[in-house]
A and B are shown apart, each in its own frame.
Chain A
């Protein structure tokens, strides 16, 4: 479209309308305010890194999942610190200048966005033009910088910010570098989880776990336990459950401390607790499991 406009102007009265052309290119180039929905994957991702249109990890790309949705696509294999640049690149691309973002994260994607905000959330970011190259890096818009990114809120499905006991005992079949970061002690020491720079993390916790119930304390979704997916502070190993379980402390909805007194990380609110034990950890290439709840909220409210 831009090339058509340019050709049109070259042929007709270029001098007379040049100021208008500059203005129109300005808004067409992404400087005008736009909202985006960024999806940050978890472990094991076969999508093409840097390709924000590749939703292989999640499900059909045609599915509604928030306004102007982009798939961040880090490799889901390496250490969080090794791959965090992918997340920061995406945040720079779409969440600077006049553009704002809604964030959705799954599993280890929780660690990625938490790490980025806690350790890099107050750094100077170059304002970008929301036009990525093949590596997922966008060009600068006006050469200026801003402090941190423009983020409205963060939805987290089956968050692994507090690690998983499966990583502690090596239950995952492949011992990849990321699994080391997912050990509960390591995940919780990686950064200050309460330092979100006052952005809200809405936590969606699934409970359809049976296979690893002997390993994961309290309620779980077959990969992470409620202490992580519910954003509970403290050490790993603590069991939290649905209210129907009388022998285990409840994971409370919202921001209130859990039964037994253990607090959640600040700016973390449990938006969904799987009382029906109906949702597991996995997307199954169809926006499935707990992700289905986050997708619904993104589709409805990331506008």
Chain B
């Protein structure tokens, strides 16, 4: 054997060995198992692989044109038709969705973000301290927020209704807030009382309406050195029946950054709002703001999520040009309800909030539509996804064609 022939033989052996090794590393054993529920563990491999005919009992029993062979083929066709439909839908929806960047979106896509500072209202059956239902009574609660920092406070309300939704007279027997340590090591608990009233003063909006309100201000009620969950337990009596309400908030004493104004700039066919901040703690900040048009119609949700250094910084929130041209909001635009927090990875609490900015915080100038770019958004991430999703759709389409005999 010549030297060249030996080398060629070696190369052939090596390729064969490497392919065997690659298959060994790449595949889970379960891909060869029979899946009774789904009708096959990995139909794509079974169909296109060289061993399909030999490993498929239907095919070996009666051949591809036997009754069982045809049935198997119909099942495969149905499977691939389902895959094709899903793949096409995923490709099209991704392509359409990413016409705008992820951080400059129609607000209709984010129903929970339209009014972020609205109190969280819930209604449940009234329960006593043992968790037993109090028949015929429903507990209505609101809490202003879940996460808060620094000197921020949180308002709570409770009311009880009968089956005809009529408010029942209430007595608040006690309302106590307490730290809830997550650690398994015993630490000193912090406790504080919260005053609830229905007299139209303090936290209460209306006197005598049956809704009792209270406000917790952690920094001034003993929690100034505590970060974590504070649980408020309200014990009440309604129509001679006793019940309880629980609320959780997550508090951090430190405020990582403070707001310092807004400027705007029309740049590269998009409108950018720059929210200035004095950043005390560097890290990843997550900021969200809403944009209404001149008629007060909610239009866009703008988000920021990036690393920020300490010092005077700007959070850039973009109203993407194509979004303006597609949705045609009336100018000037109103930037409102801004919230933000420092995201703390792998810890609890996982965030330290900046002060909320409720209401309109900035009104834009009026811009002609011709100054906005109609170009759709693009990025390496988008191209990567479109390529993969497109490949999946094309593969499924070909399989359907092949199985349909086209």
Using a CB–CB cutoff of 8 Å, the interface residues on chain A facing chain B are 1-2, 4-5, 8-9, 12-13, 16-17, 20-21, 24, 27-28, 30, 32, 34, 61-65, 67-69, 78-79, 81-82, 84-85, 100, 119, 121-123, 146-148, 150, 152-153, 165, 168-171, 177, 180, 183-186, 188-189, 192-195, 197-198, 200, 214-215, 217, 233-237, 263, 265-267, 292, 295-297, 299-301, 303
Contacts and interface: CB of A to CB of B under 8 A. Distances in A.
29 contacts: A1-B21, A8-B14, A16-B10, A24-B14, A24-B15, A24-B18, A28-B18, A63-B33, A69-B28, A119-B286, A152-B388, A170-B131, A185-B143, A185-B146, A185-B248, A188-B120, A189-B145, A197-B102, A198-B97, A214-B125, A217-B124, A237-B122, A237-B124, A292-B37, A296-B38, A299-B35, A299-B41, A300-B35, A303-B44
Interface stretch (B108-116, B165-173, B197-205, B210-218): B108-116
Interface string B323-352: 000000000000000000001111111100
B20 A81 contact: no
Interface in B353-395: 379-381, 384-385, 388-389, 392
A8 B17 contact: yes
B212 to A, nearest CB: 18
Contacts of A215: 124-125, 131
Contacts of B121: 235
Given A153-B90, A214-B125, A147 B35 contact: no
Given A9-B14, A177-B348, A194 B82 contact: no
B109 A266 contact: yes
B30 interface: yes
B312 interface: no
B147 interface: yes
> Dominant SS at the B interface?
mixed
B395 to A, nearest CB: 10
A193 B97 CA distance: 16
B37 A299 contact: yes
Given A12-B10, A192-B110, A150 B384 contact: yes
B250 interface: yes
A222 B44 CA distance: 37
Contact of A186 (B25, B45, B113, B250): B250
Given A17-B7, A62-B30, A168 B246 contact: yes
Given A17-B7, A198-B102, A300 B38 contact: yes
Nearest to B121: A235
B79 interface: yes
A122 B306 CA distance: 9
B224 interface: no
B191 to A, nearest CB: 17
A81 to B, nearest CB: 3
Given A17-B7, A24-B18, A100-B388, A189 B146 contact: yes
B65 interface: no
A122 B93 CA distance: 19
A28 B28 contact: no
B31 A184 contact: no
A1 B112 contact: no
A184 B124 CA distance: 12
What interface size band does chain B fall in?
35 or more
B14 A67 contact: no
B250 A2 contact: no
A111 B347 CA distance: 16
A150 B387 CA distance: 12
A13 B347 contact: no
Given A4-B17, A197-B102, 16 more contacts: A13-B7, A16-B10, A32-B26, A62-B30, A81-B345, A122-B305, A168-B124, A169-B127, A194-B110, A198-B102, A235-B122, A266-B111, A267-B97, A297-B38, A300-B39, A300-B40
B209 interface: no
Contacts of B346: 81-82, 84-85
A300 to B, nearest CB: 4
B124 A5 contact: no
Contacts of A300: 35, 38-40, 43, 79
Contact of B112 (A16, A61, A234): A234
A101 B266 CA distance: 39
B24 interface: yes
Contacts of A183: 246, 248
A190 B29 CA distance: 38
A153 B110 CA distance: 19
Contacts of A235: 120-122
Given A64-B31, A119-B343, A165-B124, A28 B246 contact: no
Given A16-B7, A28-B25, A234-B112, A1 B381 contact: no
Contacts of B350: 79, 81
